[in-house]
DNA sequence: AGTGTGCATTAATCTAGATTAAGAAATCAG
DNA sequence: CTGATTTCTTAATCTAGATTAATGCACACT
């Protein structure tokens, strides 16, 4: 398994790439995101230490995500087939649970509730990432996030 | 593996249930959904023939979804652990891909685009399900869906 | 046949969050 | 250290979609 060092701002994968890999983050912080037709970024996931981040599973399909480094990072390139084995299936199921909750939140919760959920689920990421990326992950603009935070402080 | 017949409107599972199962639909049509604190339904997934539908994976966690029948249906109760084996891992990965696309669509696409995507991805479901359920799946109100369809017809 | 009850549509109004713009604060490059 | 480029915030305006409400339909039922 190859170990890769990647500097802040560098890409691990771009949308359209074939033969994508799965990466296990050893240190640092990565993100995956799409760029829509208006050129706007939408962050799909953050991956700090000990998380896994992947382009498109299955790997024979072109990636629809960009992956780049928010901090200087070291990642392990995981052999793709490991995903399918024993304890890794557990990780897949956890991933599905997280995605399911995210879909439900996007359908039914306000920006404020999504933000509350985010900061209490990923408190460390909140501190390490610029606001505009949090907004992007929540599916709102940075301006809207500013408003939300204000409102939140008012009702301390 | 038990086979169960379930009539239109009956429940297979309710939010809060423990020890949830995975169901393989043999005939008919099911849906899974949440009810938010305002009492509003949000459909998480439809499951026609040959699809699988599940409450919370993992099964030891209380279900957060309701599952009921939109048509009279017959389902197979799947032994939970089958999920983790061989070819079923492929199904998990496909499920993740679908969820990923859904998250991205909810974050970046308009109601119109989500509707277009839905009717061309699930053309048979469109015909079998009331409009309000399609709206609920798309994350909009039935009124908004009516508008969208109108607009769509105008630009035939 | 009549009479509910739920579904779909239209229209009027309202609102969360988008967009645009501009200034202040932070970060970066040389 | 310093100017330049990003980031964050505030404020004004705009808009997609929510809410509310009314109407017409298609069914079930007794």
Nearest Cα residue to A76 out of A134, A133, A143, A12:
A12
Q: What is the pLDDT of residue B39?
A: 87
Q: What is the Cα–Cα distance from B59 to A132, expressed in whole angstroms?
A: 36
- pLDDT averaged per 10 residues in sequence order, chain A, 156 residues: 90 82 92 91 95 76 87 87 60 87 95 96 95 97 96 77
Instruction: Report the residue from B56, B94, B106 with minimal CB separation from A103.
Output: B106
Q: What is the pLDDT of residue A143?
A: 97
Is the predicted pLDDT of residue B89 greater than 80, yes or no?
no
For B36, other C-beta atoms within 10 Å of its C-beta total: 13
Choice among A58-62, B109-113, B116-120, B122-126 with the minimum mean pLDDT: A58-62
Return the closest nucleotide (C1') to the Cα of B144: D17
Distance of alpha carbon A122 from its chain centroid, rounded? 11
DSSP string, B34-56: EE-TTS-EEEEEEE-TT-EEESS
Q: Is B106:A107 a contact under the CB 8 Å cutoff?
A: yes
Burial of A149: CB neighbours in 10 Å, binned 0-12, 13-18, 19+:
middle
Domains along the sequence of chain A with CATH:
1-82 (2.60.120.10)
Q: What is the pLDDT of residue B44?
A: 95
Q: What is the pLDDT of residue B91?
A: 77
DSSP state of A37: T
Q: What is the pLDDT of residue A1?
A: 74
- Spatial distance from the CA of B32 to the C1' of D24 (Å): 31
Could you give the maximum distance between any two Cα atoms of chain A, in Å?
A: 50
Choice among A152-156, B21-25, B129-133 with the minimum mean pLDDT: A152-156
Q: What is the pLDDT of residue A57?
A: 64
Q: Is the CB of A140 under 7 A from strand C?
A: yes
Helix (H) or strand (E) holding B147: helix B142-154
Q: What is the Cα–Cα distance from A146 to A155, expressed in whole angstroms?
A: 15
Mean pLDDT in residue range B65-90:
78
Tokens in use for B80? 């939970």
Q: What is the Cα–Cα distance from B92 to A57, expressed in whole angstroms?
A: 10
Mean pLDDT in residue range B73-78:
92
Q: Which residues 116-145 of B interface with strand C at a CB distance below 7 A? A: 130-132, 142-143, 145
Q: Is the CB of B146 under 7 A from strand C?
A: yes
Burial of A37: CB neighbours in 10 Å, binned 0-12, 13-18, 19+:
exposed
Is the predicted pLDDT of residue B85 greater than 90, yes or no?
no
């Amino acid at each position: 398994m190859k170990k890769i060092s990647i500097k802040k701002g560098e890409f691990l994968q771009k949308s359209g790439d074939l033969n994508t890999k799965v990466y296990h983050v050893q240190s640092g912080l990565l993100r995956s995101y799409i760029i829509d037709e208006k050129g706007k970024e939408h962050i799909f996931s953050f991956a700090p230490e000990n998380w896994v981040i992947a382009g498109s599973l299955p790997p024979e399909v072109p990636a629809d995500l960009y992956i780049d480094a928010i901090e200087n990072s070291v990642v392990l390139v995981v052999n793709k087939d490991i995903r399918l084995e024993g304890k890794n299936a557990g990780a897949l199921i956890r991933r599905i649970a997280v995605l399911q909750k995210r879909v439900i939140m996007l359908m039914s919760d306000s920006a404020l509730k999504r933000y509350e959920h985010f900061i209490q689920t990923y408190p460390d990421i909140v501190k390490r990432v610029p606001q505009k990326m949090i907004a992007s992950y929540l599916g709102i603009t940075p301006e809207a996030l500013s408003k939300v935070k204000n409102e939140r402080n008012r009702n301390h």
